[in-house]
Amino acid sequence: MALYNTLTREVERVDPILPGEVSLYTCGPTVYNYAHIGNLRTFLFQDLLKRTLQGLGYRVRHCMNITDVEDKIIRDSQQGLPPDADNPARHAAMEALTARYTAAFFEDLESVAIPREGFTFLPRATAYIPQMVSLIQRLEARGLAYAREGSVYFRIQGFPEYGRLARLDREGMLAGASVDADEYDRDSVQDFVLWKAARPGEPWWESPWGAGRPGWHIECSAMGLELLGERIDIHSGGVDLVFPHHENEIAQSEGCIGHPWVRCWVHGEFLLVEGQKMSKSLGNFFTLRDLVERGHDPLAFRYAILSNHYRKLLNFSMEGLRGAKAALDRIRAFRRRMEGNGESSGDGAWKEALDPLGRLAQARQAFWDALADDLNTPEALASLFTLVTDLNAQDDRLPLTREERDRVLAFLEEADGVFACWPADASVEDLEVAALVESRRAAKGARNWAEADRIREQLRARGIILEDRKDGSTAWHRA
Ligand code: AMP
Ligand code: ZN
């Protein structure tokens, strides 16, 4: 398996530290709102990476954190509280917000075929405060951190490697100046905050420096070191995390352990919507729920993302999504065709040498070669579509035998282990029903009763009976 390593700016072979096993750390969501489809692009690319490694025979130890304490979370969760609210009340408000959006996040992942069970570790940052404190203390002991007015900062001048990942110009760095915010850009290369002194109106934890809370960057270092250890094969996030987040993670972790931490840094490109950066004011901001409400199949979204190379900017559009659905339907239809037995419509005189199994072997090889080459999904899918075209044509003339069909089905199943977009027939229908039930729920939420009834009727016509439960959920069964 070869991957583009941001550290070296080259495509390199992945040689895991432990033979046959890859450790993978991916920066997880900040749970103060629903994930948008740009976030989901990054999580889908990481799922693709994991499934490809698994398909190539590696065991993967995957850790994804949940960022449940951070500037934006605090801002949003503390809004409704009286100024004199005590610390437990402030924590409770923060936890209520993060619990709600953590649950929503896993629902979204489930809809795009990223199962929770696929993660080895899903740590919440707030459960690792002691590890963060001890990491900061170790940095202090090594002269790489200093306290000031109850906050603690990382001293970038003490870490000569600082800036290597993001290729920063060390000359331009501001010695001695410090920055408190979790997010900042290249113009503010300064000592960054590890621990923030509590300000009025914020939840806090006790620490050797007084009441405060961790900075965002230290969270991932502490959880990564604790759960995956001092040598990690792959660490990943979206390109916006290269600087400052990952640069800072390297400084904190390596400053503490004294040797390289992560072998390969892999970053996914951004998703744009209709050519622009998503923003609420432009009206091009979408969550997965928005797409589902408009009647889109979440797996078509998954396919739309995965069919593009992860290192290319992706311009998302509704038209692109419909195109993805059409491509996916071709594969699904081919799968159904192979499940059936086929009838000979030809005259049997068609004697040209057919070699479906040879074609299959070729396509399978090309498929895995493409994925192993820095996750080249466009090429992997191209080999699959050539197979679909060729075998459809062959099957028209002289039906494939049962054995040949089963071998083709086995490959489709194997390929779906990575793409997870064309599950066996019954479950495709289940997914469509689930998507419609979800649209109806959204319509009801918007008090659009006519639409909700229309969807109920549409499902009834397909023999699906809905049953609304007291807890607000909807169950369904076949008539
Ligand atoms: P956050 O929840 O903001 O911490 O982001 C979660 C992940 O989504 C990070 O890995 C980000 O790099 C990634 N991300 C944020 N915006 C986009 C976008 N428009 N396209 C792709 N990935 C994104
Ligand atoms: Zn991180």
Domain definitions of the chain by residue range: 2-268, 318-478
Give me ligand 1 centre to Cα 68, in Å: 15
Q: In the predicted model, what is the mean pLDDT of the chain?
A: 92
| Distance from Cα 287 to the centre of ligand 1, integer Å | 12
Q: What average pLDDT does range 54-64 have in this prediction?
A: 98
Calculate how far, in angstroms, residue 455's C-alpha sits from the geometric centre of ligand 1. 33
pLDDT for residue 154 is more than 80: yes
Nearest CA owner, ligand 1 atom 8: 39
Output the CA 371–ligand 2 centroid distance in Å.
Answer: 25
Distance from the CA of 34 to the center of ligand 1, in angstroms? 12
Q: How far is the CA of 42 from the centre of ligand 1 (A)?
A: 6
pLDDT: which is higher, 169 or 343: 169
Which ligand approaches the C-alpha of residue 246 most closely?
2
Give the pLDDT confidence score for residue 346 in this predicted structure: 54
Task: Answer yes or no: CATH 3.40.50.620 is held by domain 2-268.
Answer: yes
Query: Measured at the alpha carbon of residue 422, what is the angle toward residues 307 and 58, in degrees to the nearest 5?
Result: 70
Instruction: Report which protein residue has its CA nearest ligand 1's atom 9.
Output: 238
Nearest atom in ligand 1 to the alpha carbon of residue 241 is: 12
Ligand 2 center from residue 116 Cα (angstroms): 19
- Among 144-148, 394-398, 459-463, 474-478, the least confident range: 474-478
Report the nearest-CA residue for atom 6 of ligand 1.
29
240 lines ligand 1 (CB under 6 A): yes
Question: Tell me: the pLDDT tens digits for 22-51?
Answer: 999 999 999 999 999 999 999 999 999 999
Question: Does ligand 1 lie within 6 Å of residue 42's CB atom?
Answer: yes
CB 214 within 8 A of CB 69: yes
H-helix or E-strand spanning residue 236: strand 232-238
**Helices 37-55 and 402-419 meet at what angle, rounded to 10?**
130
271 within ligand 1 shell (Cβ under 6 A): yes
Q: Which atom of ligand 1 is nearest to the CA of 271?
A: 20
Is the model more confident about 18 or about 468? 18
Indicate the top mutation candidate among 25, 27, 39 to test ligand 1's pocket, ranked by most ligand atoms within 8 A of CB. Answer: 39
Nearest ligand 1 atom to alpha carbon 42? 22
Is the Cβ–Cβ distance between 261 and 247 less than 8 Å?
no
Query: Which ligand is closest to the CA of 101, given by its number?
Result: 1
Taken in order 186, 188, 192, 195, the sign of the CA dihedral is: negative
Lowest mean pLDDT of 196-210, 257-271, 339-353, name the range: 339-353
pLDDT at 182: 83
Q: Check whether 68 has a pLDDT greater than 90.
A: yes
pTM for this prediction = 0.89
Q: Which residues pair with 21 in a beta bridge?
A: 18, 59
Does the CB atom of residue 29 touch ligand 1 within 6 A? yes
pLDDT at 426: 55
Cα 238 to middle of ligand 1, angstroms: 5
CA atoms within 13 A on the CB side of 102: 19
Angle at the Cα of 283 from the Cα atoms of 278 and 287, rounded to 5 degrees: 60
In the three-class reduction of DSSP (H, G, I as helix; E, B as strand; rest coil), residue 83 is classed as: coil
pLDDT for 463 equals: 85
- DSSP letters for 338-370: HHS-----S-S---SPP-HHHHHHHHHHHHHHH
Strand, helix or coil for residue 457: helix
- Give the pLDDT of residue 446: 86
Q: Is the pLDDT score of 438 beyond 90? A: no
pLDDT bracket for residue 241 (50, 70, 90):
very high
Q: Which pLDDT does position 425 carry in this prediction?
A: 63
Segment (H or E) for 192: strand 191-197
- Tell me, using a 6 A CB cutoff, whether residue 38 lines ligand 1: yes
pLDDT more than 90, % of the chain: 78
Rounded Cα gap, residues 207 and 204, in angstroms: 9
The answer on pLDDT for 12 being more than 60 is: yes
pLDDT digits (tens, 9 = 90+) for 373-409: 999 999 999 999 999 999 999 898 888 999 999 999 9
Q: What is the pLDDT of residues 87-130, one digit of tens each?
A: 999 999 999 999 999 999 999 999 999 999 999 999 999 999 99
Q: What's the mean pLDDT in 74-91?
A: 96
Ligand 1 in contact with 30 (CB < 6 A)?
A: yes
Tell me: cis bond preceding 244? Omega within 30 of 0 counts. Answer: yes
In the 8-state DSSP scheme, what is residue 225? H
Range name among 97-111, 408-422, 459-473 with the lowest pLDDT average: 459-473
| C-alpha–C-alpha distance, residues 477 and 197, integer Å | 55
- Position 351 pLDDT exceeds 50: no
Ligand 2 centre from 27 Cα, in Å? 4
Which pLDDT belongs to residue 66? 98
Overall average pLDDT of the 270-288 stretch: 89
pLDDT score of 293 more than 80: yes
Q: Measured from the CA of 39, which atom of ligand 1 is nearest?
A: 8
* Ligand 1 midpoint to CA 82 (Å): 32
pLDDT for residue 479 is more than 50:
yes
Burial class (CB in 10 A: 0-12, 13-18, 19+), 349: exposed
**pLDDT tens per residue, range 253-264:** 999 999 999 999
Q: Which residue has the higher pLDDT, 320 or 281?
A: 320
Query: Exposed (0-12), middle (13-18) or buried (19+): which is 152, by Cβ within 10 Å?
Result: buried
Give the pLDDT confidence of 334-343 residue by residue, as tens digits: 998 999 987 7
Taking CA atoms only, the protein residue closest to ligand 1 atom 18 is 38
- Cα separation, 225 vs 218, in Å, equals 11
Mutation to probe ligand 1, out of 42, 223, 242, 285 (largest number of atoms < 8 A from CB): 42
Kind and range of the H or E run holding 64: strand 59-64
